[in-house]
């Protein structure tokens, strides 16, 4: 699997993602500058966490107009795998590759803590190795991760099976207390209708080694590897 990690001014999770793929999973990686206009030879594109362009205007609003995003959109439309993590999720929404918006946390506080995620479906490219109902322990680190969409959009993504992860209790129950940011219906990650583009607020790259406290994040990356293997890449 050949992965490109997009780096915008203000991105800071690019090295964590590269460490997971290159050092832990032994998969080749290259950094993609925000000014690049081609993504030739890649199988997976990751938009990592950070504060692209300082989060001026609103999170992801400026990054959406970076030259590389036209290439990312074309890549996604051709079926390429795209994963947006935290700020990357925000950018994918701004680029209209994913529905909804991410608002300021209901607490109005930056939240950096471990959370539990319930896997809602195994049809996306990033949950192939998971089973519905499986609980993953993965950390969050964000100030604007409060998932919002209008009622019609919420109903549509539920109906289409596009909700990928929900915040939950350790036993898998979806409760208000398990929701760290006020996200509607405890939504922590969604996919596009095709399942090749996923955005999630938690950071799976920070849960890929036992030394860090969890290896549950590996399921996300290994799912992508196996999804590509299934289509003969």
Locate all alpha helices (DSSP H) within the chain, ordered by sequence: 14-18, 67-77, 87-94, 151-159, 218-230
Sign of CA dihedral 58, 164, 85, 180: positive
User: Residue 36: CB partners within 8 Å, gap ≥ 6?
Assistant: 67, 68, 71
DSSP string, 85-101: ETHHHHHHHHTTSS-SE
| CA distance linking residue 53 with residue 6, whole number of Å | 13
Q: Which residues are catalytic?
A: 86, 203, 205
From residue 186, alpha-carbon distances to 22, 104, 132, 148 in Å are 32, 15, 16, 10
**Cβ(10)–Cβ(51) under 8 Å?**
yes
* Own/partner pairs, 211-215, CB within 8 angstroms, 24+ separation: 213/114, 213/137, 213/139, 214/114, 214/136, 214/137, 214/138
Tally the C-alpha atoms within 13 A of residue 101's C-alpha that lie toward its C-beta: 8
């Amino acid at each position: 699997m050949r992965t490109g990690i997009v780096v915008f001014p203000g991105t800071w999770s690019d090295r964590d993602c590269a460490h997971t793929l290159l050092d832990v999973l032994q998969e080749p990686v290259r950094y993609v500058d925000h000014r690049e206009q081609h993504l030739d030879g890649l199988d997976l594109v990751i938009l990592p966490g950070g504060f692209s362009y300082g989060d001026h205007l609103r999170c992801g609003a400026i990054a959406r107009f970076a030259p590389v995003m036209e290439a990312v959109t074309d890549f996604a439309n051709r079926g390429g795998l795209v994963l947006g993590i935290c700020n990357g999720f925000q950018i994918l929404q701004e680029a209209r590759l994913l529905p909804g918006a991410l608002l300021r946390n209901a607490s109005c506080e930056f939240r950096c803590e471990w959370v539990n995620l319930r896997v809602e479906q195994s049809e996306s490219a990033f949950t192939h190795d998971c089973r519905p109902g499986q609980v993953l322990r993965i950390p969050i680190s964000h100030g604007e991760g409060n998932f919002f969409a209008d009622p019609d959009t919420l109903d549509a993504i539920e109906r289409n099976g596009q909700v990928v992860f929900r915040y939950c209790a350790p036993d898998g129950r979806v409760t208000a207390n398990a929701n760290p940011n006020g996200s509607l219906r405890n939504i922590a990650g969604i996919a596009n209708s095709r399942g090749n583009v996923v955005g999630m607020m938690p950071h799976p790259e920070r849960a890929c080694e036992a030394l860090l406290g969890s290896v549950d994040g590996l399921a996300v990356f290994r799912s992508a590897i196996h999804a590509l293997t299934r289509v003969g890449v």
